[in-house]
Structure 1
Amino acid sequence: MKKYLLSFALAFMSLTAFAQSDYEKVMKEKISKLEACKSVDEFQTLANDFDRIGKKETKQWLPSYYAAFAYIQKGRVQMREGKMDELSVQANAAEKYLDQAESVAGKDNAEIHLLKKMASSLKMMENPAERYMTDGMKAMEELKKAESLDPGNPRVALIKAEDTYFTPEQYGGSKTKGMEQFQDALTKFKTYAPKSAIDPNWGKAEAEYFISGAAK
């Protein structure tokens, strides 16, 4: 009987390990496509993929996190295309997934708070004059939370650099200071190690893009 129970336990452990490795393999494949995406349709496809993974892996927060990230990136593409009236749609979808991620990971997750900041910023950009005191302030609060939880996080530094670089000087922005902050973000990327092969590790390419002067 003991031998049978031991065999069962070992078999269960093997199946669990296989399932975990299979989950990580699929996640790595999808995550690798995120930085290569360029179009609204590509980001939507990935958001749907992460949604399906999340429905199977209900105890994991990363599928919902990456689904939210895909919706935010989709919104950013639309912003560059001048489709400002669609930004809240993507931000709301992102926030739904971030709530799901937070229900698993807890409220003290800097990466989730950073995406909440980005989602709120998207909403604000739909109508900055009307939404600065609501969505704009919420974005600032979420960024402060992310930084307090993980001050060495390069993605926090990256988003701060974006804000400084793209904000007009009369409202406190500065392209010169923004470039300094992009350099700070890049420095942090060189030493910051993600917790696992599938934990958030995006943003370095963007910092390098600005430092290279390609954004001018």
Structure 2
Amino acid sequence: MKSLNILIVFVITATFANAQNKKYIKTMETSITAIFQAENTEALDATANKFDRIGQAEASEWEPYYYASLSHVFKAFKIEDLQAKDKVLDQALVALGRATTLSENNSEIIALQGFINMIKIGVDPGTRGQTLSPKIMADFGKAMKLDPNNPRANLFMAQMLYGSAQFFGTGVDDACALVDKSMVLFESEKPESTIAPSWGLHSAKQYKKQCEAALEKAENQE
């Protein structure tokens, strides 16, 4: 009888946990879609706040804080005022820091951290370029080492190399080769779950066009 009671409790607990997990996944899927459908900063504030609430409810999951951070990043792209943009990027780093505490040595988190700091260079290139660039390169390098097939890590590294090449007036061949590699990785990517990061292909296609134009210009100048 005691064994039967234990079995019943186990079944009830497992059923409840499964229902909770399905609810979490569904809520995350809906909220992730909302990020990419957001048309203004207010909508992105709403998604960031939603993910923050999900993170508080699901204390062991890193994905809510990752997407809260991504919401802030997308918001920053819509802001022209540099000081305001910088504050939003700081919020993105804070949210991502919470994700890091839940999942260390995570290629996706580390890659996004480097990406955020890469955007922060644009706020004040003269002051930040020299100090942030080594950290950014280290983040992208680590993210790629942890997961060589992470298309976002490869794309972000390509963007960093492309920007550096333009700044120093050197060739973009290495950067563009990495863009091509990232596109292959995007097209073959098989996310571990429906809420795993899978974004970035659109940006890769945009950089592909820039590379084609830059390489054609360089060829014509020879």
Q: Is the pair's TM-score, using the shorter chain for normalization, greater than 0.5?
A: yes
Distance in 1 (alpha carbons) for counterparts of 2:183 and 2:76 = 24
The answer (yes or no) to whether the contact 1:164–1:174 under 8 Å persists in 2 is no
- 1:102 corresponding residue in structure 2: 100
Distance in 2 (alpha carbons) for counterparts of 1:172 and 1:77 = 28
TM-score of the aligned structures, taking structure 1 as reference length:
0.87
- 1:89 corresponding residue in structure 2: 87
Q: Deviations over 1:148-189 (max 9, x none)?
A: 111121111221232344456342565665544333211111
2:168 to 161, 167, 171: 171
- 1:141 corresponding residue in structure 2: 138
The answer (yes or no) to whether the contact 1:34–1:70 under 8 Å persists in 2 is yes
Aligned identity (percent) is 25
Offset, 1:90? 1.6
**Unmatched segments (≥5 aa) in structure 1:** none
Q: Which secondary structure state, in structure 1, belongs to the residue aligned with residue 37 of structure 2?
A: coil
Distance in 1 (alpha carbons) for counterparts of 2:209 and 2:136 = 28
Matched, 1:112 2:109: yes
Deviates more, 1:27-36 or 1:37-46: 37-46
**Unmatched segments (≥5 aa) in structure 2:** 214-222
Distance in 2 (alpha carbons) for counterparts of 1:188 and 1:50 = 27
1:196 to 164, 170, 193: 193
- 1:14 corresponding residue in structure 2: 15
Q: Which secondary structure state, in structure 1, belongs to the residue aligned with residue 122 of structure 2?
A: helix
Offset, 1:112? 0.7
Distance in 2 (alpha carbons) for counterparts of 1:174 and 1:114 = 24
Matched, 1:2 2:29: no
Distance in 1 (alpha carbons) for counterparts of 2:53 and 2:4 = 39
Give, as a single letter, the amino acid of the residue that structure 2 aligns with 1:96. V
Q: Deviations over 1:71-104 (max 9, x none)?
A: 11211222xxx32122321222111111211111
Distance in 2 (alpha carbons) for counterparts of 1:27 and 1:153 = 21
Deviates more, 1:139-148 or 1:180-189: 180-189
Q: Deviations over 1:53-86 (max 9, x none)?
A: 00100010000111111111211222xxx32122
User: Highest Rg: 1 or 2?
Assistant: 2
Give, as a single letter, the amino acid of the residue that structure 2 aligns with 1:163. M
Q: How many residues align?
A: 211
Give, as a single letter, the amino acid of the residue that structure 1 aligns with 2:95. Y
CA RMSD of aligned residues (A): 2.2
Distance in 1 (alpha carbons) for counterparts of 2:159 and 2:106 = 21
Give, as a single letter, the amino acid of the residue that structure 2 aligns with 1:21. K
Give, as a single letter, the amino acid of the residue that structure 2 aligns with 1:37. A
Deviates more, 1:31-40 or 1:126-135: 31-40
Offset, 1:34? 2.1
